[in-house]
Amino acid sequence: MPGIVPAIPLALDLKPGSRLVDHFPEDAAAKPRHHNWGSVETLSCSGGHRIERIVIKAGKELPAHYHKRRSEHWTVVEGEAEAMLGDDVLIVSPDHSLYIPAGVVHGARASNVAAVKMVAVHYGETVSDVDDMFAAV
Q: What is the CATH number of the domain that holds 98?
A: 2.60.120.10
Helices then strands, counting H and E runs in the chain, come out as 0, 11
With respect to residue 94, please indicate whether it lies within any of the assigned structural domains: yes
With respect to residue 127, please indicate whether it lies within any of the assigned structural domains: yes
CA angle 90, 124, 42 (to 5 degrees): 75
pLDDT for the residue 1: 42
pLDDT for the residue 41: 92
Count of structural domains, the chain:
1
pLDDT for the residue 30: 63
With respect to residue 3, please indicate whether it lies within any of the assigned structural domains: no
Classify residue 27 by burial, with Cβ atoms within 10 Å: 0-12, 13-18, 19+.
buried
Residue 88's domain comprises: 55-135
With respect to residue 65, please indicate whether it lies within any of the assigned structural domains: yes
Whether residue 16 is predicted with pLDDT greater than 60 in this model: the reply is no
With respect to residue 79, please indicate whether it lies within any of the assigned structural domains: yes
CA angle 53, 59, 64 (to 5 degrees): 65
With respect to residue 110, please indicate whether it lies within any of the assigned structural domains: yes
